[in-house]
Amino acid sequence: MRLSRALAAAAILMAAAASFGQPTMDSLWPDEDGMRWEYRFHVFDHDGDIDFTSPAHLQLAGTAMTPGGEAQVLLAEHASVPRPGRNAPPALPPLLLRIWRARPDLREEIERRYGGASRSAWWPLFLHGGYFMKTADDIEMWQDEWPHRTWLYMEDDLTVGATFSMQLVPELADDIYLHGTVAAIDATVATPAGSFDDALKMDYLIDFGIQVATDEYGGVIGSVRGETVGHVHYVPGLGPVDMLEESIPYAWMDCGENDCPPEWEALLGVVVETNTLVLTRLPVEADAASWGAVKAMFR
């Protein structure tokens, strides 16, 4: 118990000290083995098919080798999201599920390549499990299905306005990209675990590329592009404390000289699904009051 409290106090002190200047990448996601983040997960389908809330957690548990070197195993778990019978997508890892939904033209290839991919109940994408790797330059993720990294949480340039881009799953398409932007380093965020200031807000945008839609005779109707947008707040010494993720299947469209179908126009720029994660308790044995008390020492 004394050791746990000492570790908790050390983590709080480190977080408080880091929060009063430019944050470091290392402080924004502590990676001690056994660290566990507990959240409240909510997914809302704006068509009314899904409105689901569940406890969720991420936990670092051991190590594994990847083609990029040794990584930590980041477990991710919440209760299974009920899937509506109507047009229900297959059970796929989060990234493949998003691509399957955004790119109907790639569904057959996804099934062919990854029909046997590991299934997971985990739904969010901007925070997800797999093989977690913190390098000198970035924090990235790897997965069993691919011989290359599959996600970037952040790079070491954390000045406001700094950006990065990463191509996702080049085996499927050459125009699916993740874009990240450091939106703020002094954000205030309130969670059930406490209120924190000086959080780093990282904005994310997934561009799913261009899909050319055709009619039953093969004639081109038009082109559409979908996006998933949102953010994660990272608190120095604590890690990710909340996440927002919104799916926009018709972020852009072009039907040439013709009008686009009215069902497309009605959804232009419309969010059809929202996912959130919010921290419900601190990842070490500490409480929000002690966090605030220690931070007051640095003012």
DSSP string, 152-166: EEEES--STT-EEEE
Residue 67, SS3 per DSSP: coil
Which neighbouring-strand residues pair with 141?
Answer: 132, 151
What is the chain's alpha carbon radius of gyration, rounded to the nearest angstrom? 20
What single DSSP character describes residue 50?
-
pTM of the model: 0.86
- How many C-beta atoms surround the C-beta of residue 267 within 10 A? 16
CA atoms of 192 and 40, how far apart (whole Å):
9
Q: Where are the beta strands (DSSP E) in the chain?
A: 36-45, 51-66, 69-78, 130-134, 138-142, 151-155, 163-167, 177-191, 194-214, 220-235, 239-254, 273-281
Residue 49 contacts residue 84 (beta carbons within 8 Å): yes
pLDDT given at position 224 = 95
pLDDT reported for residue 29: 97
Q: Nearest to residue 204, comparing CAs of 168, 237, 236?
A: 168
Note down pLDDT in tens along the chain; length 299 residues. Answer: 444 544 554 454 444 444 457 899 999 999 999 999 999 999 999 877 889 999 999 999 999 999 999 999 999 999 988 876 555 567 788 999 899 999 999 999 998 888 765 566 799 999 999 999 999 999 999 998 899 999 999 999 999 999 999 999 999 999 999 999 999 999 999 999 999 999 999 999 999 999 998 888 888 999 999 999 999 999 999 999 999 999 999 999 999 999 999 999 999 999 999 999 999 999 964 344 344 443 443 33
Confidence (pLDDT) at 85: 55
Task: Write the CA distances from 200 to 22, 197, 254, integer angstroms.
Answer: 9, 9, 36
| Contact of 185 with 22, CB cutoff 8 Å | yes
Q: What is the DSSP string of 170-226?
A: TTT-SS-EEEEEEEEEEEEEEETTEEEEEEEEEEEEEEEEEEEEE-TTS-EEEEEEE
Q: What is the pLDDT of residue 92?
A: 82
The secondary structure of residue 106, as a DSSP letter, is G
